[in-house]
Structure 1
């Protein structure tokens, strides 16, 4: 069995170089990606040009602009950066089928048994660097027997210590006081003398490639800083305070003492890097894809032939969906014409479905948009968006009868019988789907109760295709509410009643004169003090139910209905 070999790729400037790829400047300028860290604007990624002028990752934006005033900046975009890393993962699939993402800017590739296909590990690295150079990306790479060792080599191999003297003694030892001896001693790096640990440095060309020979992971790790073990910053700081700065310093500590003083995670990371604890490379699962196609020996053009072809495709497509426990929410129908063109329509559903009987009527509504041209050679169905669906348990006759009786008894109070079966719910969803196919799903809305006593905010409008109907009776209002609500419209009250909060005997609204026969109120409503609403800046309103002599019933209030001064306004009409 071939020895396990792991390739770790690190893209230290992934975010900045992604932006540079989009800009495609002829002469690259210093560019940085700025993110919000602890409420401060910090450089999260810097380009090679920005690093050349003295900028670094983790630096404040104000300091960076002071160093280079003409600096180009771009906001951090974690979502698109993750998508770009996923694209790089698919590119790395050419070297091995086992590729895992190491967020935010790394890949882990299992090269076991595949490196010889490219001419060896050196040839693989050469191809990696060539491809990344063509894509305008900076990369560092490390190959070792374990993922932990490869990760550390890719990021910290340039921070390894200088080779020790032949005698194994350093000139800084306390018993070597001779000036000549100290002048010839090996110079130690700052982080070895007690300074800050080294940070991963950006790669430059092929210098960022390190290969550890098989079976020599210990030799590759012994001179690396502790951060190469993927330890938390707090754990690295505790170890460095005790003078433990290299991986080799903790290798000689007894395992029990190491776990007791620094935690099991430190011991676990060391074991993973040394290969004592297995650490698999788990590739990302491929996205679920549901599509079927049907090729015809001769082009077809009649609607009946297209419908017959779709009937043959719906059954296997729904079988694929049911096998994975999924239901389609958006379906694409593609018709490949004989002239090389492609006609496509999309069908949306209000609820995920895996039944041909629910998909077929919606597709037929869209068939008129498909231009057959000189004939259709191939039909293809693809589920663009799917959701998980759960199986519905069918009830027996006794349970169904009891539910129907209970729904009939409570139907008068709730307006919706509790015995409404799954078929009724599907019928409503199918109706929403058919209306959405004609009018657009954005045009089909439904009301949901909202937690507010303000009349205009008592209900919220939701898209029917992407929401669930309210389950249960509508919450009771504190008082009668009009059938039609509108924005407050001013009411003309002239005479001695102008400016008074008592209901006027006569008023004018919408160019009509009204004589009040009966007024019921007032009902005082207060706005939410924690919300800013321009229509409720005056505070409380006194609402009155007014019945005119001609029988029309209006909902009037006295207050500020979006105006500066108090006055009378009409906000609704009763049935």
Structure 2
């Protein structure tokens, strides 16, 4: 079996070069793709001329215009970039059947047993370079035994780890540190040099079994770590991957988390990181290209009325219902407006989906006009995947389907379109005798209504909260007068006690007061409160109020 070889393709100017391919008038001059992040317009992609002018990705647009007066900016179209990357994935399928997308601007190719069909790895990279040049794309490539090593070589090979301190970093280091740094660069004193081959176009190849030496001189950021972790390691003087390889693993995991050790293992091949190109088996989407741009809500809804039946027919043929639906409105200025709606139950009924889309179309900014609309079912589920709990449950579900009783589901969907489906919840019973644990909160859109609640041994209050201290004599007898929430209360009637013991097999901090005696207390002011006397346990005894009856 051939040794595993992974190719990483990185398109550093994907967003800008996609626009240049689509609009030939943008070929001359610096170009920047911008998007809004944290209420600020920032650069997300640059062409070669803009990078030569000193601009960088992540830079605020106002700073970029100050540095380059003739800079041309275009809004980012995230769906179009994702579709373009998918098209590149299909193109890369001619080199290997095992290709995966690495959003937002990369591809991972498993070359195991495929490189010899193109005359070897060097010849294959030459073919890749020619193809990308013909497509007008800049590309950097890396080949290694692991995904992590190939990713690092494609993006960081040839870069030296720099210090974040001012002045000469070597002269500022301690004497012992300089001695260790000299030992790390062992290949300058007769050791084996890392076998990394740099070709034209930014290609890097690490020979089989040479991942350790190839990655050692690279910056720590090549391990796909978070910026915060990279900054912490740099402050400690650990700037190259080789500096980490000799450190104790237990101390690294304890101080920087297991993610750092995992990335090291993945890059060196100790931890598996498969290339998984599998895509969802079902894909439901329709689109409409308009001859003239539109901008009115009525026109958008008219287009939806023509697309939605086609989408629902495709879903019905496959026996699936949509749970999350996305509407993309592509504008004439190459930007895209996106809205998503969620449904409480999977369905392919257009009459239940249309009102949800209509509620959100007013959020679409048409700009200079919309020339293409696209509907896509992001999340689908089998429409008949239900587990029947006996004949009674089956009859109830069948009756609901015959009667068309979907009012509650439609209400949840409409409310979810405004506040989010996660904000709508319902309670389900839980097998526990502890009052505050008798119910659990579930998302209404992903749970069934609760039926047959177990009967409670005693009435429970309508409102329940964490126990609040009550100023009263510390005796088990119900006090005739007590003070709670800054007010004095007089006892009119008391019913009880109901003794509830804690769950001894669980260490619940709220129940360390031991056994509780609950009383339904009616005050002369007319309030019905739920008081209990805690017998101590690991805490002091006393009276508390935990609820109020309606």
Partner of 2:452: 473
Contact 1:100 1:108 in 2 (8 A): no
Q: Secondary structure at the match of 1:318?
A: helix
Q: Give 1:11 deviation, angstroms.
A: 3.9
1:504 and 1:516 in contact (8 A); partners too = yes
Q: 1:94 maps to what in 2?
A: 93
In structure 2, the residue matched to 1:456 is 436
Equivalent-residue separation in structure 1 for 2:126 and 2:536 (angstroms): 68
Mapped partners of 1:356, 1:134: distance in 2? 46
**1:483 matches 2:483:** no
Aligned to 1:135: 141
SS at match of 2:492: strand
Please name the residue that 2:497 is paired with.
522
Show the counterpart of 2:420.
440
1:356 aligns with 2:362: no
**Is it true that 1:380 corresponds to 2:374 in the alignment?**
yes
| Aligned position for 2:283 | 289
Q: Distance in 1 between matches of 2:448 and 2:96?
A: 42
1:303 aligned partner: 297
**CA spacing shift, 1:8–1:134, aligned 2, 3 Å:** farther
CA-CA distance at 1:545 after TM superposition: 1.1
Alpha-carbon distance, 1:322 to partner: 2.1
> Which residue is equivalent to 2:531?
556
Task: Measure how far apart 1:326 and its partner are.
Answer: 2.1
**Secondary structure, in 3 states, of the residue corresponding to 2:353?**
helix
Tell me, yes or no, if the aligned pair for 1:139 and 1:203 is still in contact at 8 Å: no
Q: Is the 1:350–1:430 Cα contact (8 Å) retained in structure 2?
A: yes
Q: Which one of 422, 426, 429 corresponds to residue 409 of structure 2?
A: 429
* CA pair 363-573 structure 1, distance change in 2 beyond 3 A: same
Per-residue CA deviation, residues 240-285 of structure 1 (Å, 9 max, x unaligned), is xxxxxxxxxxxxxxxxxxxxxxxxxxxxxxxxxxxxxxxxxx9956
Structure 1: 5+ residue runs without aligned partners?
Answer: 1-6, 22-86, 141-201, 210-281, 393-401, 408-416
Partner in structure 1 of residue 543 of structure 2: 568
Quickly say closer, same or farther: Cα 1:531–1:91, change in 2 above 3 A: farther
Change (3 A) 1:319 1:457: same
The whole-number CA distance in structure 2 between the counterparts of 1:283 and 1:461 is 37
1:365 equivalenced with 2:359 (yes/no): yes
Shift in Å, 1:532:
2.4
Contact 1:488 1:569 (C-alpha < 8 Å) held by counterparts: yes
Conservation of the 8 A alpha-carbon contact between 1:8 and 1:106: no
* 1:187-244 alpha-carbon deviations (Å, 9 max, x no partner): xxxxxxxxxxxxxxx99968659xxxxxxxxxxxxxxxxxxxxxxxxxxxxxxxxxxx
> What's the offset of the Cα at 1:572?
1.0
Is 2:338 the counterpart of 1:344? yes
Q: What is the SS of the residue equivalent to 1:135?
A: strand
Structure 1 residues 517 and 338 mapped into 2: Cα distance closer, same or farther (>3 Å)? Answer: same
* 2-structure distance, mates of 1:128, 1:9: 18
CA distance in 1 between partners of 2:498 and 2:546 (Å):
14
TM-score, normalised by the number of residues in structure 2:
0.52
Residues of 1 paired with 2:288 and 2:359: CA distance? 20
Mapped partners of 1:467, 1:369: distance in 2: 29
CA displacement, residues 428-469 of structure 1 (integer Å, 9 cap, x when unaligned): 111111001111222211111112111111111111122222
Corresponding position: 1:532 with 2:514: no
- CA offset at residue 513 of structure 1? 2.9
**Within 1, Cα distance between the matches of 2:281 and 2:483?**
65
| Structure 1 contact 330–386 (Cα < 8 Å) conserved | yes
3-state DSSP of counterpart to 2:339? strand
- For 1:441 and 1:367, the matched residues in 2 are separated by 18
Q: Counterparts of 1:21-60 in structure 2 under 5 Å?
A: none
Aligned-residue offset at 1:478: 2.2
Q: Distance in 2 between matches of 1:547 and 1:571?
A: 14
Unaligned runs of 5+ in 2: 13-85, 101-107, 130-138, 147-194, 198-204, 210-275, 387-391
Q: How many residues align?
A: 334
- The question of 1:321 aligning with 2:321 is answered no
How far the C-alpha of 1:109 sits from its partner, in A, is 7.0
Partner SS for 2:408: helix
Q: Distance in 1 between matches of 2:125 and 2:427?
A: 56
Residues 96 and 109, structure 1, Cα contact 8 Å, conserved in 2 = no
**Residue 248 (structure 1) aligns with:** none
Q: CA deviation at 1:562?
A: 11
